[in-house]
Amino acid sequence: MSASFSTSAARNIFFGGTVFFVLMFLALTYDTEQKLPQRDQRAQLANPAVAAGKRVWENNNCIGCHTLLGEGAYFAPELGNVYKRRGPDFIKAWIKSQPTGVPGRRQMPNFHLTDKELDDLVAFLKYASEINTANWPPNVEG
Amino acid sequence: MQYKSQMVAKPYFIGALVLFVAQILFGLIMGLQYVVGDFLFPHIPFNVARMVHTNALIVWLLMGFMGAAYYMVPEESECELYSPKLALIMFWIFLAAAGLTVVGYLAVPYATLAKITGNDLLPTMGREFLEQPTITKIGIVVVALAFLFNLSMTFLKGRKTSITTVMLLGLWGLAIMFLFSFVNPDNLVRDKFYWWWVVHLWVEGVWELILGAILAFVLIKITGVDREVIEKWLYVIITLSLITGLIGTGHHYFWIGTPEYWQWLGSVFSALEPVPFFAMTLFAFNMVNRRRREHPNRAATLWALGTGVMSFLGAGVWGFLHTLSPVNYYTHGTQITAAHGHMAFYGAYVMVVLTIISYAMPLMRGRAANSNASQVLEMWGFWLMTISMVFITLFLTGAGILQVWLQRVSTTPMGFMATQDQVALFYWLREGTGLVFMIGLAVYLFSFFKDGKSAA
């Protein structure tokens, strides 16, 4: 690298550039927070079942096999839109009937959820399915 | 090795390599579960194996970074470490916390672990990569603070170089961003938004500072090129990393409920993210070509060059492959993501930790470099692991393309599980290649026990 470009110039560009882009990122974060209420279905959080369902989701590490809005593990189906794909009754019946025990097939553990936990989880999945995700996924299969 | 206290790096490096073995073993279990679904079920369900696989990776890389910092900072600062004793105590606390957490994952159902660790008091568990019980997260913060205190005190009393400045900035950034792992709003969109402040701003942000600093340190030592030249490169690389990577976070904000302008911002800035990695490749090769001495540790040179190339391929090229939002619309959350994740983590962070281990371990064992026989074995390990990782990535990419086509592009889209059956061949190939990786790792580890002393 050319001798006329000194280390201290490089360092100043680093600190200046970093501070500038950190501030820009924070400004965009602020703007995002302002626009989120139109997209994130936060009104549904008034129903305590949604937050309780998120706890059920987290406490059983569902993300360890499934994706939720495309993030998570890629071992089992996307669940961000499962409410639309399968509906509430199927979801509950499916969870209760695990594991299938079919030899050689991927197995989902039985998490021994109570009826209330199942209802909470479904409320959470319904909420997730109604978030405005810019039309992702491309089709209902997730 | 110039300072006695640099020796505290040794247990960190050994601990890191032990966890590396655990990571790969559980990776092989998961890889097999992709095709033999009920393998080890119900004893080790997939989600448990995955937590061990990813968490072991994160912890061993952190241990590697800590070891690197304990080795580099005294030498760069030209003074002994502030408190070697504190460093050793923290190592054992960190290892015990990691060990107990893994035992927790394996011994009881995750919900039980959440209950007995009081997750409901401060719910942070059950999110990808941040599955650790809240108490473990608090432990990580304590260890990180003690570590940063120790190093910052050393930094302040000694010579301040660009390398230690960048290294400490990276490590402080790492610790500060980790605090966002305690932010878990009920609002799923906000949860995901800030979750990326840990995950993305680590691996595509502050970790790149640590990576650059470690690489620069090793290159100064093995090439003898002027510090002035290397430090200038370092600043240019990390500038490029942060100006692309900060707004580049937007490539995770396409489909999670965030405003749609992120599709533009994320696409444009993250399309530039390969640039700093390409600069890193040029940097490594340039410095080695301009070397002023023939360092006897050729294995360390190979790892340094390998980091330059593989981080560009894995993080740069495979990242670019699916980072533009119209492409990502189809590839988001498929095996394409997994392909990128594997080569990026290996090429950038695994390889840079193995670079510093390769350089520093012989010195801590009282020799400039290992014997030729030992280095040849180490280089066999390098090639077996690196080539395996290239093929793992290619097979996962093949699986991903087929998956995207069948499940998302086709006019008659298949369901997820039906699609998985169609791509099974690629998963078998990946598993076979994973076994070769394991052999490579075994050869690499064996090189540490091969008569290292003779004819160094």
| Residues A28 and A45 grouped into a single domain | no
| Residues A60 and A118 grouped into a single domain | yes
Are the Cβ atoms of B235 and A139 closer than 8 angstroms?
no
SS3 A67: strand
- HSE toward the beta carbon, residue B415, CA cutoff 13 A: 8
Nearest CB to A61; choose among B42, B131, B255: B131
User: What kind and span of H or E run contains B434?
Assistant: helix B424-446
Rounded Cα distance, B300 and B40, in Å: 39
B29, B46, B160: which to substitute to probe chain A, counting the most A Cβ within 10 Å? B46
CA nearest B228 in A: which residue? A7
Between these two residues, B453 and B93, which has the higher pLDDT value?
Answer: B93
Condensed to tens digits (0 to 9), the pLDDT of residues A48-74 reads 999 999 999 999 999 999 999 999 999
Task: Look at residue B145 in the predicted model and tell me its pLDDT.
Answer: 97
CA nearest B337 in A: which residue? A74
B332, B401, B404: which to substitute to probe chain A, counting the most A Cβ within 10 Å? B332
Interface of A with B in 24-43 (CB under 8 A): 24-25, 28-29, 31-33, 35-36, 39-40, 42
Are the Cβ atoms of A75 and B33 closer than 8 angstroms?
yes
State the average pLDDT over residues B35-48: 97
| Residues A62 and A112 grouped into a single domain | yes
Number of independent structural domains in chain A: 2
Instruction: Please give, rounded to a whole number of angstroms, the shortest distance from the CA of A24 to a CA of chain B.
Output: 8
Q: What percent of chain B has pLDDT over 90?
A: 98
CA nearest B334 in A: which residue? A74
Condensed to tens digits (0 to 9), the pLDDT of residues B208-237 reads 999 999 999 999 999 999 999 999 999 999
Q: State the ipTM, two decimals.
A: 0.97
User: Which domain covers residue A97, as residue numbers?
Assistant: 41-142
Query: Would an 8 Å CB–CB cutoff place A21 in contact with chain B?
Result: yes
Do B127 and B195 form a contact (C-beta atoms < 8 A)? yes
State the average pLDDT over residues B30-48: 98
| Residues A17 and A81 grouped into a single domain | no
| Residues A28 and A61 grouped into a single domain | no
Condensed to tens digits (0 to 9), the pLDDT of residues B312-353 reads 999 999 999 999 999 999 999 999 999 999 999 999 999 999
| pLDDT at residue B43 tops 50 | yes
Kindly state the tokens that stand for B372.
Answer: 């030729």
State the average pLDDT over residues B266-285: 97
Q: What percent of chain B has pLDDT over 70?
A: 99
| Residues A10 and A74 grouped into a single domain | no
Task: Look at residue B157 in the predicted model and tell me its pLDDT.
Answer: 96
| Residues A126 and A82 grouped into a single domain | yes
CA nearest B163 in A: which residue? A11
| Residues A64 and A111 grouped into a single domain | yes
State the average pLDDT over residues B95-123: 97
Are the Cβ atoms of A103 and B189 closer than 8 angstroms?
no
Are the Cβ atoms of A7 and B232 closer than 8 angstroms?
yes
Mean pLDDT estimate for chain B? 97
State the average pLDDT over residues B398-410: 98
Are the Cβ atoms of B38 and A106 closer than 8 angstroms?
yes
* CATH number, domain containing residue A122: 1.10.760.10
Other CB atoms closer than 10 Å to residue B10's CB: what's the count?
18
| pLDDT at residue B456 tops 60 | no
The stretches of B185-344 forming alpha helices (DSSP H) are 188-201, 207-223, 227-248, 261-271, 274-289, 298-311, 318-321, 325-331, 335-344
CB pairs under 8 A between A and B: 223
Q: Which residues in chain B have their CB less than 8 angstroms from residue A28's CB?
A: 247, 250, 265
pLDDT band of A4, cuts 50, 70, 90: confident
| Residues A16 and A64 grouped into a single domain | no
Are the Cβ atoms of B126 and A60 closer than 8 angstroms?
yes
User: What kind and span of H or E run contains B418?
Assistant: helix B416-422
Task: Look at residue B454 in the predicted model and tell me its pLDDT.
Answer: 61
Nearest CB to B239; choose among A7, A13, A45: A13
Determine how β-strand A67-68 pairs with β-strand A71-72. antiparallel
| Residues A13 and A69 grouped into a single domain | no
Task: Look at residue A2 in the predicted model and tell me its pLDDT.
Answer: 66
| Residues A49 and A34 grouped into a single domain | no
| Residues A72 and A135 grouped into a single domain | yes
| pLDDT at residue A36 tops 60 | yes
Task: Look at residue A1 in the predicted model and tell me its pLDDT.
Answer: 60
Rounded Cα distance, B283 and B311, in Å: 13
| pLDDT at residue B29 tops 90 | yes
Of A118-127, B101-110, B178-187, B447-456, the range with the lowest mean pLDDT is: B447-456
State the average pLDDT over residues B147-163: 98
Beta bridge partners of A68: A71
Task: Look at residue B1 in the predicted model and tell me its pLDDT.
Answer: 83
Q: Which residues in chain B have their CB less than 8 angstroms from residue A63's CB?
A: 47, 126-128
- Structural Rg of chain B based on CA atoms: 22
Rounded Cα distance, B380 and B282, in Å: 24
| pLDDT at residue B354 tops 60 | yes
User: What kind and span of H or E run contains B429?
Assistant: helix B424-446
Do B348 and B237 form a contact (C-beta atoms < 8 A)? no
| pLDDT at residue B287 tops 90 | yes
